[in-house]
Amino acid sequence: MTIVTKILAGSLIFCLMSSVDATSTIPIFRVDAKGKTGAEIGAALGKAVKEQFPDIGKKYDSYLASFVDQNTFNSWVQKRVNFVKPNIDQAYQDEVNAIVSNWGIVGIDQVGDGYLSLNEFWLLQLIPDIGRRTNCSGFGVFGNVSALKAPIVGRNMDWRTTEALRSIQAITVYEYENRTFVNIGFAGYVGVISGFNSDGLFVAHLDSPLGKRYPEPIGDHAIVFDLRKVLEKTTKISAAAISLSKQQYGFSHNILMADTKDVEVLEQPQGQKAHLRNATSPLRIEMSWGKPNQIAVVNCFVLRNSPLNCISSIDRFRWHRFRTLAKFNSTDNQAHVKDVIKIMFDKVNPYQEIFNQNTVQSIVFTPKDKRLHLYTVPISGIHSAHPVMYEIPNLLPVSPVQETWLSDTIMYVLAFLMLGSVLFISFGNNDYSKKRG
């Protein structure tokens, strides 16, 4: 092997090691959805997931059994799932059905038996819509307060999970003809809890309970599938908010949204009109803000014209903690990505922390350059004393212009490494010759 060959091989190994380290926290599934039907997309994804997680059905069944008994399951399927599912786009229904058909499903709905049925999988897909309440939060900066002069948005997803569910955390990338979107969640989970598209639009679901009983029976839409639709069809907060505001949902929620210009929150109470909140919207006196070009969201509504539901001490503390941390300005203290990451990892005040024992995923995303930083909880469920967000590279397809630039950059880097190595070897040989002389 020549010196040049050795140098090139060493450089390539270095690049590969760097890439593996950056993406080792979570599996990534890529779906070529161009010109494909929902059934074809589901079949391909289901097969890939099964290969990565051979016991995926058992894992999902185990998680389901951790929070619902058989009687509750039967009731939810009959009175909730069966009324919501017909309002979901047929292509998404076909995708879900095709995914699970690759996993060896059973026809009997028996929660906790180690096997997954179609009804069980559908209930899992609709958890945020039919009965799974969560305690999530988010924060964003934009405009001249951001060091990027563009939005930086953070989001913590807090779910009560099991080892089985934590072990199947995954990213799924759907590549369509005109747009690609990234779904951050779990293997085989088709709806969107957190995600973004190739235009830089980011959306995340947060529960905002009003204390009302779930209306049964109900024929409302599924927010997790409507969030997917806006990532496939829209590019801006305004268009996404209009699309979502047309529908009614079984539970009240907040939708944290960001695009290349702004960060806003859609407050959507059950059975009432939705309102889009920005950094200067009029808020309730007890939930004051007053932070230019900065915004936060917890599990309640803060707009003056939204229903009053900021009753929990957790929501109140987190809101005011975000307000304390939102100390950035346009002159001498602009926010960087590392600053937003630090906020999302804040652990002040036990039992009411922003980053807490139920945080499954912590995300920071920059819409302008589509860079994702992600933390996923270990399978054990125990956070490290010093958690780290990894940047997950190469999620979106590279455009021809970017591809050319990257190729040129790689060549320059390799040439630099080769030159440095040759000089090192040359000087080393000279020193060796002098010593021998």
Domain ranges of the chain: 1-26+399-437, 37-125, 136-392
Instruction: State both tokens at 364.
Output: 């920071």
Cα separation, 363 vs 194, whole angstroms: 9
Contacts of 18 (CB under 8 A, 6+ apart): none
User: DSSP assignment, residue 78?
Assistant: I
- Looking at residue 292, what is its pLDDT? 97
- Looking at residue 107, what is its pLDDT? 87
**What residues are paired with 221 via a beta bridge?**
249
Cα separation, 386 vs 407, whole angstroms: 36
Helix, strand or coil for residue 164? helix
Quote the strand ranges of 303-387, DSSP E. 359-366, 371-376
- Looking at residue 433, what is its pLDDT? 46
Instruction: State both tokens at 53.
Output: 């997680």
CATH 3.60.60.10 fits 136-392, yes or no: yes
Cα separation, 431 vs 427, whole angstroms: 6
State how beta strands 294-297 and 137-141 pair: antiparallel
Amino acid found at 269: P
Q: How many CA atoms lie within 13 A of 57 on its CB side?
A: 22
Cα separation, 211 vs 205, whole angstroms: 18
Count of H helices and E strands in the chain?
A: 14, 14
- Looking at residue 213, what is its pLDDT? 72
Contacts of 155 (CB under 8 A, 6+ apart): 136, 137, 138, 194, 204, 256, 344, 362, 363, 364, 365
Structural element, H or E, at residue 295: strand 294-297
Cα separation, 193 vs 204, whole angstroms: 6
Residue 388 CB neighbour total at 10 angstroms: 10
- Looking at residue 432, what is its pLDDT? 44
- Looking at residue 6, what is its pLDDT? 38
**What residues are paired with 155 via a beta bridge?**
138, 363
Instruction: State both tokens at 133.
Output: 């309440």
Q: Are 200 and 260 in contact (CB under 8 A)?
A: yes
The model carries a pTM of 0.86
Burial (CB count within 10 angstroms: exposed 0-12, middle 13-18, buried 19+), residue 256: buried
Q: What dihedral do alpha carbons 141, 144, 148, 154 form, nearest 10°?
A: 0
- Looking at residue 19, what is its pLDDT? 28
Per residue of the chain (437 residues), give pLDDT as tens: 444 333 333 333 223 222 222 344 699 999 999 999 999 999 999 999 999 999 999 999 999 999 999 999 999 999 999 999 999 999 999 999 999 999 988 889 999 999 999 999 999 999 999 876 678 999 999 999 999 999 999 999 999 999 999 999 999 999 999 999 999 999 999 999 999 999 999 999 999 998 777 766 666 899 999 999 999 999 999 999 999 999 999 889 999 999 999 999 999 999 899 999 999 999 999 999 999 999 999 999 999 999 999 999 999 999 999 999 999 999 999 999 999 999 999 999 888 999 999 999 999 999 999 999 999 999 999 999 999 999 999 999 875 434 434 445 445 545 555 555 544 444 455 544 444 44
Quote the strand ranges of 5-95, DSSP E. 28-32
Amino acid found at 371: R
- Looking at residue 105, what is its pLDDT? 87
